[in-house]
A and B are shown apart, each in its own frame.
Chain A
C-alpha cells in the first residue's frame, strides 16, 4: 500500500466513521464503542531508532486488536521535548497516544520543559534496558574495577560517550563514578547523537568508554571491536551471561536503565484507557511481539496503569537526585 492510498483509506474510514457517528446521534443518544476512528501513535524519536521500531511494531499489532488503523507519527527534535510535548498536549480523547521514554522524567530537571510523568495517562511500561560499561577491545582495562581505579587515579583524562550532554547514558556514567565517591566530572562526557556514533568513536579510539545499553553494542561486541565489562542492573543480561553486574564487579550498588512505555495525554476517558490497556496487554503477550523484542535484544517488562505511574514517579525522583548530584539539573 502506498502512502497516498493509506491516507486515502484512512480518510475514507474517518469519513465513514463520521457519518456513522452523525447517524448514531439521531437514532440513539449512546456513543458508539471506542475506538470508532483511526488512532495516532506519536513516537518522540527518529525513524530507524529503537523507540521507532518498537512503536511501529506496537502500532501494527494494535491495529489488529482495535480494528482501526493506528498511524505511527515521528515527532522528533529538541532531545525528545517536541514529541513528548505533543503527546501530553494532545486532545485527551483516546485517539492520540504515544511512546514515552525515560527522558520524560529528565527534561524538566534540565529546565527544558515543565512536563513530568504526571502529565500523561499511563497505559503500560513495556521495555527496560540497563546501561552497560563498554570499552574498546584493545583497552588495557579488563574489569569495571580497573575503569573506576583509573578514573580515580587520573581524573579528567578518561572520556566517555554514548548520547547527548545530560542524556540517559551520560547519567549512567556520572552516577556510577559518583557512587564510587569520585567527582562526577572526573570522566568528561563527549556528546554524541546516540549510541551508534558514540560506539564508532570508541572503536576509532576517540573516547575511552561508552555507557550505552549492552544491546546497542551487540554488533560491535560480536565483531570483536568492543568489550562489555559490566551491566548496571540487579541481574545479568540473559543474552550476555558472561558480563557481570556492576555490583558483582565492583561492589557499587548503582543501576541505571532506559525504559519505554505507552501513554496518552492526562485525563483520558476511562473507557478508552481500559480498551487500550486490554488491547496492549494482548499485543505484549502475542508471539509476534515477544519474538520481535527478543530478536532485537530489547528487555521485556510489563507494568500496567498505576504500576507504570509509580515506576515513572520513582524513576523521576532518582533521576532528579543524580542530575542534581552531577550538576546537570538546572
Chain B
C-alpha cells in the first residue's frame, strides 16, 4: 500500500510541473481549434503532433495527445450544434439533434449539455481506465471476428432505429451507405470493386469527405436553392452556458451513467472508437426513452447519452492499447507508436516496470478532462460570434472550410470530388424525406460488417453455425436476433388484438 502511494506521489510530481501543464494548455487550444473545424479530426490532430512529441519526455508527450484529443472531440460538437456540421466524426450521431435545439433558440442548452456531459464522460472513462484496465482488457481480447460481426449487426440495427421519420426510408438510406462502403479494393479477395479502373477509386470512398459532404455541402446547396426559405437560427447570445444544466442532468442522470458505461466499453473493444460509441449510445437512448417521439426535434436526452459516450470512449480505447499494444481506435494506433518511441512498450510489463508512468498517464486523463470545463466554456463563448455572421457570408466560408477539410484528410483533390457528390446525394435524399444519418453509419460499419463476416466464414469453412459457436458470440447473436424479432412479434400481437373485435 505504501509503495502504491509512493508511486502515485511520484506520478503526481511527474505531471504537476510547469512544463507539462504548459504544453497541456497549448495542446488544449490546438485541440479546440482542430476539433471545431469540420474535416480536421482528432486523429489528424494526433498525427500532426507526432513530430513534436519526438522531443519531449514520455509524460508530456502523452499529456499533449490526451489533452488535444479530449478537447477536439468536445469541440466537434460546437459546429455540429451551430451549423449542423459535425466538427469530428464523433459528433455526427447527434448533430441533427443539437442543431434542432439551436433552431429552437436553445443553443446554450445544447452546448452546455455537450460540454458538461463531455467532462463527466471523460472522467468516467478515465476512472474505468485507471481502475480496471488489465481486467477489462482480458475480456476485450477474447473478441474475434464472430463477436465483431454481431456487434456490427447491432450497430446497423441501431441505424434504422435512430433515423427520424419512416423506418422504410431509414432502411433504404442505410443500404445506400452499405453500397458506398463496398467501393474500392475489398480486403478479403484483394479485388477492386466499382472502381472503373481509377486508382483513386481503389482507395474507396473516404469517410471524412463523405461525412462533410452529406452534412455541410447539402446545407450549402439547400441555401443556394432557396436562400430565403431557410430559417436562420434566432439571434441569441450564448452567455449562460450552464443555466439549467443542473436540472437537465438530474433529470437524465441515468442517461449520463449509461452513456459513460456504453462509451467506455465500446472504446475498449479494439477497432470501435468514440464515433461508434456515440451512435450506439444515441440509439440506446432513443430505444429506452419515454419520449421517443421527441427525438430528432431538438430533445436534449439523446445528447446527454451520446455526448457522454464519445468522451468516455476515448479513455476506454487506451485500455487494450496499454495492456496489449492493440489499438482501441485510430488515435490509440498512433499513440502506441509514441509509447514505443518513449520506451514505454505497451504490455503488462510496463505496469510492473514503470508504474509511475502509467499512473502519470491516468492523472493526465483526469486533469485534461477537468480542464475541458473552463476551456470548453471559453470556446463556446467565442463561438457565439459565428451565429452573428449573416448567412450569405457564412455559407461561402463554410464551403471553404469543407474543401480544405476534405482535401487535407488524404491530400488529394479526389476527396473534394467525393465531398461534392455526397453533398448532392444528401441534398436529393433529404428533399425526398430520406434521413442521411443511416447512410453515414452504413459507410462506417459496412467494412466492419463485411470483413468480419468474410473472415468468420473462412474460419468456419462456410458453416453459419460458427457464428454461435463461441459463448460471447452466441450471446451477442441471440441479442441481435431478439432485436430483429421483437418489432415483428409486436406487430403480429397488435394485429391479432385489433383483429379480435371485428371478428364475429
Enumerate chain A interface residues (CB-CB to B < 8 A). Answer: 2-3, 6, 47-50, 52-53, 56-57, 59-60, 73-79, 81-82, 85, 110, 112-113, 156, 159, 161, 164-166, 188-193, 196-197, 199-201, 203-207, 218-220, 222-225, 288, 292, 295-297
Residues on B with C-beta less than 8 A from A222 are 345, 347-349
**Which stretch in B2-10, B138-146, B284-292 binds the other chain?**
B138-146
Is B478 close to A, CB under 8 A?
Answer: no
Q: Which residues of B contact A189 (CB under 8 A)?
A: 458
Q: Are B188 and A191 in contact (CB under 8 A)?
A: yes
Return the chain A residue nearest B408 by Cβ: A3
The answer on a CB contact under 8 Å between B347 and A220 is: yes
Additional A-B contacts beyond A74-B47, A82-B203 (11; CB < 8 A): A3-B40, A47-B330, A48-B334, A50-B337, A59-B51, A81-B185, A81-B199, A164-B187, A192-B187, A197-B270, A204-B144
Assess the B145–A47 pair: CB atoms within 8 A.
Answer: no
* Cβ of B346 under 8 Å from chain A: yes
With an 8 A cutoff between CB atoms, is B184 at the interface? yes
Query: Separation in Å of the A70 CB from the closest CB of chain B?
Result: 10
Instruction: List 27 A-B pairs, Cβ < 8 Å.
Output: A2-B34, A3-B34, A48-B333, A48-B336, A49-B333, A56-B50, A78-B185, A78-B204, A82-B202, A112-B192, A165-B188, A190-B455, A191-B190, A196-B325, A200-B143, A200-B144, A200-B270, A200-B324, A204-B142, A218-B325, A220-B324, A222-B348, A222-B349, A223-B323, A225-B324, A295-B340, A297-B340
Contact among A50, A77, A223 with B348 in the assembled complex (CB-CB below 8 Å)? A223
Q: Is the CB of B199 within 8 A of A113?
A: yes
Minimum CB–CB distance from B199 to chain A (whole Å) comes to 5
A38 to chain B, nearest CB (A): 13
A75 to chain B, nearest CB (A): 6
> Which residues of chain B have C-beta atoms less than 8 A from A188's C-beta?
458
Given A3-B34, A191-B451, A201-B144, A75 and B324 contact (CB-CB distance below 8 Å):
no
Chain A: CB-nearest residue to B412: A75
Chain B hits for A197, CB < 8 A: 270-271, 326
A296 CA to B344 CA in the complex, in Å?
A: 10
Could you tell me how many residues of chain B have their Cβ less than 8 Å away from some Cβ of chain A? Answer: 63
For residue A69, give the distance in angstroms from its CB to the closest CB of chain B.
11
Chain A residues near B408 (CB-CB < 8 A) = 3
Is residue B343 within 8 Å, beta carbon to beta carbon, of the partner chain? yes
Given A47-B334, A49-B333, A190-B458; A219-B187 close (CB under 8 Å)? no
Contact of B326 with A199 in the complex, beta carbons under 8 Å: yes
Whether the Cβ atoms of B40 and A79 lie closer than 8 Å is: no
Contacts of A224 in B (CB 8 A): 348
Instruction: Judge whether B203 and A78 touch: CB under 8 Å.
Output: yes
Query: In the complex the two chains form, what is the Cα distance from A159 to B323 in whole Å?
Result: 26
For residues 176 through 227 of chain B, which have their beta carbon under 8 Å from a beta carbon of chain A?
A: 184-185, 187-190, 192, 199-200, 202-204, 206
Q: A60-B51, A201-B144 are in contact. Are A2 and B187 (CB under 8 A)?
A: no
Cβ of B372 to closest chain A Cβ, rounded Å:
19
Instruction: Tell whether B54 is near chain A: CB-to-CB under 8 Å.
Output: yes
Q: Is B166 an interface residue (CB 8 A)?
A: no
B468 adjacent to chain A (CB < 8 Å): no
Please indicate the chain B residues that have their CB under 8 angstroms from the CB of A223 in the complex. 323-325, 347-349
Residue B43 is within 8 A (CB to CB) of chain A in the complex: yes
Residue of A nearest to B472 (CB): A204
B254 at interface (Cβ–Cβ under 8 A)? Answer: no
Contact A206 B30 (CB under 8 A): no
Task: Name the B residues within 8 Å of A75 (CB-CB).
Answer: 410-412
Closest A residue to B340 using CB positions:
A296
Q: Is B44 in the interface zone, CB < 8 Å from A? A: yes
In residues 310-359 of chain B, which contact A (Cβ within 8 Å)?
Answer: 323-327, 330, 333-334, 336-337, 340-341, 343, 345-349
Question: CB distance B51 to A112 under 8 Å?
Answer: no
Q: Tell me the bound Cα distance from A196 to B324 in angstroms.
A: 10
Contact between B410 and A201, CB atoms less than 8 A apart: no
CA of A224 to CA of B461, assembled, Å:
29
Residues of B within 8 A of A218 (CB): 325, 345, 347
Q: Closest residue to A81 on the B side, CB-wise?
A: B202
Say yes or no: A77 contacts B202, CB within 8 Å.
yes
Complex Cα–Cα for A75 and B141 (A): 30
Do A164 and B345 touch (CB < 8 A)?
no
CB distance from A122 to the nearest CB of B (A): 22
Chain B residues whose CB sits within 8 angstroms of the CB of A47 once the complex forms = 43-44, 46-47, 330, 333-334
**Contact pick for A220, options B270, B325, B334, B451, CB 8 Å:** B325
- Distance of A188 Cα from B411 Cα, bound (Å): 37
Q: Does B252 belong to the interface (CB within 8 Å)?
A: no
Interface string of B345-383 (1 = CB under 8 A from A): 111110000000000000000000000000000000000
Interface flag for B12 (CB, 8 Å): no
**CB-nearest residue of chain A relative to B411?**
A73
Chain B: which residue is nearest A115 at the CB level?
A: B199
Chain B residues whose CB sits within 8 angstroms of the CB of A203 once the complex forms: 141, 324
B459 within 8 A of A: yes
Q: Compute how far the CA of A145 lies from the CA of B34 in the bound complex, rounded to whole angstroms.
A: 53
**Residues of the A chain whose Cβ atoms lie less than 8 Å from the Cβ of B147:** 204
Contacting residue for B187 out of A48, A159, A191, CB 8 A: A191
Complex Cα distance, B48 from A50, in Å, reads 16
**CB < 8 Å neighbour of B189 from A49, A81, A165:** A165
Interfacial chain B residues near A85, Cβ < 8 Å: 199
Nearest opposing residue in chain A for B270, CB measure: A200
Contacts A81-B185, A219-B346; A48 near B203 (Cβ below 8 A): no
Report whether A295 and B144 are in contact in the complex, using a CB–CB cutoff of 8 Å: no
